[in-house]
Each structure stands twice: as structure tokens, then as C-alpha cells.
Amino acid sequence: MQWTDESEPGTPYWWDVLENEPADDPLPQDCDVLVIGAGYAGLSAAIAAHDCGATVVVVDKDEPGHGASTRNGGMFGAHPRLGWKALADKFGAQVADALFAEAKPALDWAKGLIDREGIDCDLQQTGRIQLAWTRQHFENQKTLARHVSEKSEVDVEIVDRDRLGQNIETRRYFGGLYFPEHCGLHPAKYHQGLRDAVTRRGITLTGRAEVTALERAGNRFTATTPKGTVRAEKVILCTNGYTTPLFRWHVARVFPLPSYLIATEELPSNLLGHLAPGRRMMVETRARHSYFRLSPDGKRIIWGGRASMREIPMEQAARRLRETMLSVWPELSDARISHAWWGNTGFSFNHMPHVGEDRGLHYAMGFSGSGTVMAPYLGAKAAYRALGDPRGATAYADTVLRRDALHPFTRPHFLKAADIWYREVIDRVENAKAR
């Protein structure tokens, strides 16, 4: 595999534009709301709490945005990850209906946040197409499209195989499900815009300040960090796939699942126009869950997916992703790789986010790969709920972060076995069905 000399393996393509100074605001002794985690969810929670009149402090164990908020694929959309029947089986028909109905308001709210705060993040309404890897997947998409149309205001369109060429040049897929309102953006610029919004409000923001102890006495919490101690009336946990073992209840229910990505070197515009004529955000239905797109400037391919369900050497992950990319687009066989990186998604065992409270600690997490919209949306919901604001109402408070017997400890050891199972069994079965 050929590399360019643009970056070291492990450095996200998105970081090329970052010029942030370290977040090092001094911690006050007291605040109304302490937010733990400075990604999309945490910064949005801080904005919402501040605008409700609360004094707010945000801390992060790393620099703000070091995690998934500046490492993801930049796909911006909201619709339930699961079909209506699966949601009804898990949470009941009423909750399933409400989750479907909330998809359009969540997307509109997140778009409104970008507009209200004047965030320049290369937001483009490209549409997103979910590509069916097998005939059965395409039949399942037809059912999902019917439920989306019946139970939400989300625009959706079934694309049969003969019309896929308007979106992507390949014969690997059997059809697709197209969401025209979905967008693409630059995730690091998006996070930078939220950070700027926090700074404009005078909210305390401090990185390298991992909460190493959190004690509750009466109605107040005391959080200990390497940069000092702060007391708070309310605490909101927004750490998702980067939650530390201190929060045992949460890490038992939301586990970090690595997602790997590569970026190609700049490619000829005629080649990219041939491969991706629609400039869509593109995802697959197969369990390998490849997701791919053009870079915001339209000069590269960004390709992500399940290279492994556990941490592996970056070059090995990049090689696996490139092999998958070439199986869809063999025309890229001569393209060099400029960047390769990974980040943690925070997955729940129900594959759905949740907003809730555990022993006075409020939280929003388990975004399960839908964080560009759902993390800021539900971060704000968590803040409203913590402050007793009626705007905190959401169907995502009626989902569940359940435990699973496969995950009895704080570290997700089951992912080692799951990685073998998916690579050696599931992938082979799905590939056989796709022939």
C-alpha cells in the first residue's frame, strides 16, 4: 500500500485545519452545572444550561474534541438506526412511534444550532444513501421506507438498482434508501464552532482535567480533577465512547467500539465525478458497515468502517479499509492513502442513544454512530432535564441502557471474540448472499 507524506498514520484528515490553543480556564470553586466531556454533547449541554441562566463548567480528560467529535466521517442526519418493529419489540409501540416522529425535529434542531451560532463547518445538503448489500437488505429497506413515511416527516426514497448510477458507480449493491435532507460537514470545524460558542458565553472550559473522584453530599456534587476541585448542583456526563471506569454504571452499558477511517490523496475531478456523481454521503447495510464520501472540498475519498472491533495497528486497519474500498471501486487501485485514523463510537446494547439520570447524575450517551446530530441534540436535552426545563422532553428518555451478560466488567473483552465472529462468519455469510 502506498502512502503520501501528508501525515503520520493515526492523525485524522480533519485535524489539518485545527489551530486550537489548549483549553486551560481556571476552575472555579462552585458552579450550578458541571459538564464532564467536551465533545459535541458536552459543549451543547453547556450552551443550553448557560442560556437557561446557569453558571457552567466543562471539563475533559483530554483536550476538547480530541475524541470522536473530530474523528468521525462528518455525516449529518437523524433517523432511527433500527426498524420500527425492532424498536417496538424493545421499547413498545408508543415509544417506537415517538422515536420515528422525533427524527425530523432532531435534524432541524441541529441545523438550527449551526445557523444560530454561525458555525462555518462546510455543511452541505448532499443527501445520504444507504446501500443494500443483499437482495434481502433491499427488501428490508422497503419496509423501513414505508414506516419512515408513515410515522415521521422525514423525506425518504427507495432507489432501485437501475437508478443507483445517479448516486454511485458500482454494481455491488442491490438498491438503496435515500434521505435527501441529510448532509455532510467537516466534523472538526463543527466542533470548533461549538467550542467558540462556549467561549463567547464565558463558560469555563478546561482540558486535561479528568474527573478522578465524584462525591455527592446532599444535593451537591464535588468533583476532583488534576486541575482542582469544583462543587456543582448538577452534573451532566457526556463522555460516550470515552467514559472512564470511575463511572462504572455507564461503562457497563455503553462500550467503546473503534471505527477506522482512511483518506485518499487528492484525485482527479473526473474520476471522482465518475465514482460518486451524486456527491452523497454513503453507507452500507452489511455488518462491515462501510461509510464513505467525498471530502468537503470534493478532492478526496473518505472511507470508514469496521476494520476491527478492537484496537489494531493503524497500517493493518488502513490496509483492510483500502481492500474494502477497492472491492467497491477498483478504479482506485492506484490511489495513495494520505491519512489513516480511528476513534471510539459509544455503542449501547440496544444500538440506540439514551438520556437519563442515575443517582442524581444526568447523562446523554450511547449514540451508536449517530453522534453528529444526536449528540448535540441530546446533550441539550440532558441539560434541560437537569434544570427542570420542559424542553427536555424526548422519546430518548424512554429508551434503555441495558446491561448484557457478555459485558460483566468495565473493559469490553467480548469485542475480541465478536471481532473474530464477524470477520470469519458474518462477513462471509453476507458476502455469499451478495453474489
Q: pLDDT value at position 272?
A: 97
41/194 Cα distance (integer angstroms): 10
Q: What is the mean pLDDT of residues 137-165?
A: 95
Residue appearing with cell numbers 468521525: 72
Residue appearing with cell numbers 448516486: 167
237/45 Cα distance (integer angstroms): 10
27/65 Cα distance (integer angstroms): 19
Q: What is the mean pLDDT of residues 396-405?
A: 94
Give 97-128 pLDDT, tens digit per residue: 999 999 999 999 999 999 999 999 999 999 99
Q: Is the pLDDT of residue 283 over 80?
A: yes
Q: Is the pLDDT of residue 435 over 90?
A: no
Alpha-carbon torsion angle 155, 45, 114, 74, nearest 10: -70
Q: pLDDT value at position 20?
A: 76
- Confirm if 208 and 61 have CB atoms less than 8 A apart: yes
DSSP class of residue 333 equals: T
Q: What is the mean pLDDT of residues 340-347?
A: 96
Give 255-276 pLDDT, tens digit per residue: 999 999 999 999 999 999 999 9
Question: How big is the chain, counted in residues?
Answer: 435
Q: What is the mean pLDDT of the chain?
A: 96
Give 45-97 pLDDT, tens digit per residue: 999 999 999 999 999 999 999 999 999 999 999 877 789 999 999 999 999 99
Give 168-190 pLDDT, tens digit per residue: 999 999 999 999 999 999 999 99
How far is Cα of residue 329 from the mean position of the Cα atoms in its chain?
A: 25
Provide DSSP, 138-197: HHHHHHHHHHHHHH-----EEEEGGGGGGT---SS-SEEEEETT-EE--HHHHHHHHHHH
Q: Phi first, then psi: what are they for 214, rounded to 5°?
A: -140, 115
Q: pLDDT value at position 5?
A: 83
356/375 Cα distance (integer angstroms): 14
Alpha-helical segments (H) within 38-179: 40-51, 84-91, 93-116, 135-151
pTM, full prediction = 0.96
* Contact residues for 83 (Cβ-Cβ < 8 A; gap 6+): 140, 143, 144, 147
Could you count the other beta carbons within 10 Å of the beta carbon of residue 146? 13
Which of 39, 26, 46, 24 has its CA nearest to residue 234?
46
Which of 60, 53, 19 has its CA nearest to residue 33?
53
Q: What is the mean pLDDT of residues 284-290?
A: 94
283/81 Cα distance (integer angstroms): 12
Q: What is the Cα Rg of the chain in Å?
A: 21
- Confirm if 263 and 339 have CB atoms less than 8 A apart: yes
Q: pLDDT value at position 78?
A: 84
